[in-house]
């Protein structure tokens, strides 16, 4: 592997002291402003996230790939980063962290944003929520600088400052005690261009004014953050080799192909996999879509909100989303629901995650009962608190078409839905949950014929057999149709 591939990538990571500090709005604003200035920005999101990644992708005008050292090992994370930034099509790689800079799974900070910054040898810009604090913020920054000295904190952005006096006190305190430059100070937002739901932003697909919000964030950043400093910090990483040197990186694809991988096969004999994608079902990792295309599938995008029925497909992938906010429309499309149920009964391979699991059930119980596809004998309701939130570890302990018995699956779950009725048995679920809630009784992964439905979201980098198996099942289904 050439050293220039490991060293010559301008890169920067934006982190914060905690979740909810406003780093996503800043990230979106920085990326949009840089793109407006003609820069080619490749966005990444640290951690298991769909919504923030969707905003970053909209800002950059290209897919945002997730870098998560729990879901995939360091070698694969480095490979992903390099494959999407090499090839001369990148002026800047911009990585948004998650939660607090040093927050991880344990006291050693495993899988933290800081650990990713070290792995990629990326300089860090720290977003500071300055609400109701002044000089104390200097003490906090000083603690961050000394907590893990090998993390390169190169700049600070003061966020949610109350006015010029507030900003001046914090700036002077940090300059006196910390020695890290303040490269921006952003005032509290009066107008809400980024409405939130649950624990994050409204997804871009459900935000009618998404382009207005992107421009508003770019203007906010341009007026209050020194973008030249952001570029200088990113460019300072060009001489820093990535820490993945010597990790024996997999070499199954050349550098520079990352931006084009979403193109699916156009071979008429290729198996056709339907991807349910609309404002109700929108949570898909770009890596998962890429993996299906790379395995030989032709991807057909469909919507139970607008399509009158299923097209000619050989398998179906239904990702996560918010079917509860579209329950009336989903229930009203009776023909689509019936065709999915009939296809599943006839043996169509169907893989469903979270929102997709809910759609395959009997009904959603909200203000009233909304019938769903009825493939699975399960009724869902909703809670005001998360019913599953965080990383998952599952062991496959039942025969199924998708995973070999004994396989350990690492994933994540995040849902407010809960099971009200379950007409099956625990033996019909293939996952035993070592970590995470699953569907019920520490079980997940309902298996019915060629249907597999689970609360656990997987990432294809860490679970490569998923895409290969789904495409293989689709290929077999296509051959059966040809010979009938």
Overall residue count recorded for the chain in this entry:
484
Q: Which of 35, 130, 178, 354 is catalytic?
A: 354
Cβ neighbors of 441 (< 8 A, separation 6 or more) are: 426
- Catalytic annotation present for 64: no
Whole-angstrom distance, CA of residue 402 vs CA of residue 276: 19
Whole-angstrom distance, CA of residue 68 vs CA of residue 78: 10
Of the candidates 379, 377, 411, the residue with the CA atom closest to the CA atom of residue 395? 411
| Cβ atoms of 437 and 386 closer than 8 Å | no
Of the candidates 82, 95, 162, 148, the residue with the CA atom closest to the CA atom of residue 122? 95
Whole-angstrom distance, CA of residue 207 vs CA of residue 194: 9
Active-site residue list: 354
């Amino acid at each position: 592997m050439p050293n220039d591939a490991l060293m010559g990538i301008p890169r920067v990571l934006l982190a914060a002291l905690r979740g909810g500090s406003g780093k996503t709005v800043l990230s979106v604003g920085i990326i949009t402003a840089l793109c407006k200035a003609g820069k080619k920005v490749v966005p990444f999101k640290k951690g298991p996230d769909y919504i923030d990644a969707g905003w970053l992708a909209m800002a950059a005008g290209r897919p945002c790939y997730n870098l998560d050292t729990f879901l995939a090992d360091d070698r694969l994370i480095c490979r992903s980063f390099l494959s999407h930034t090499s090839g001369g099509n990148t002026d800047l790689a911009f990585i948004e962290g998650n939660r607090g800079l040093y927050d991880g799974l344990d006291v050693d900070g495993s899988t933290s944003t800081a650990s990713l910054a070290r792995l990629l040898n990326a300089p860090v810009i720290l977003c500071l929520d300055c609400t109701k604090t002044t000089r104390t913020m200097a003490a906090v920054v000083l603690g961050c600088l000394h907590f893990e000295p090998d993390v390169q904190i190169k700049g600070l952005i003061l966020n949610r400052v109350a006015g010029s006096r507030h900003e001046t006190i914090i700036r002077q305190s940090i300059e006196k005690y910390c020695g890290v430059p303040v490269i921006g100070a952003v005032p509290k937002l009066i107008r809400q261009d980024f409405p939130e739901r649950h624990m994050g932003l409204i997804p871009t697909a459900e935000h009618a004014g998404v382009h207005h919000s992107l421009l508003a964030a770019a203007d906010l950043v341009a007026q209050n953050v020194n973008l030249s400093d952001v570029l200088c910090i990113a460019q300072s990483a060009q001489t820093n080799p990535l820490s993945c040197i010597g990790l024996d990186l997999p070499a199954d694809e050349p550098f520079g192909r990352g931006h084009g991988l979403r193109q699916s096969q156009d071979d008429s004999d290729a198996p056709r996999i339907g991807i349910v994608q609309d404002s109700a079902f929108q949570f898909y990792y770009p890596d998962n879509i890429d993996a299906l295309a790379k395995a030989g599938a032709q991807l057909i995008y469909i919507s139970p909100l607008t399509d009158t029925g299923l097209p000619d497909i050989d398998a179906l992938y239904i990702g996560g989303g918010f079917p509860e906010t579209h329950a009336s429309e989903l229930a009203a499309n009776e023909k689509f629901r019936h065709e999915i149920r009939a296809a599943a009964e006839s043996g169509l391979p169907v893989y469903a995650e979270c929102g997709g699991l809910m759609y395959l059930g009997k009904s959603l119980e909200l203000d009233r009962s909304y019938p769903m596809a009825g493939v699975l004998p399960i009724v869902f309701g909703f809670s005001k608190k998360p019913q599953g939130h965080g990383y998952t570890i599952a062991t496959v302990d039942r025969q199924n078409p998708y995973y070999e018995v004994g396989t350990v699956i690492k994933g994540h779950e995040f849902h407010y839905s809960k099971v009200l009725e379950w007409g099956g048995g625990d033996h019909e679920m293939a996952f035993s949950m070592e970590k995470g809630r699953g569907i019920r009784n520490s079980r997940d992964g309902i298996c019915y014929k060629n249907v597999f439905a689970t609360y656990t979201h997987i990432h294809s980098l860490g679970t490569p057999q998923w895409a290969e198996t789904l495409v293989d099942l689709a290929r077999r289904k296509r051959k059966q149709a040809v010979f009938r």
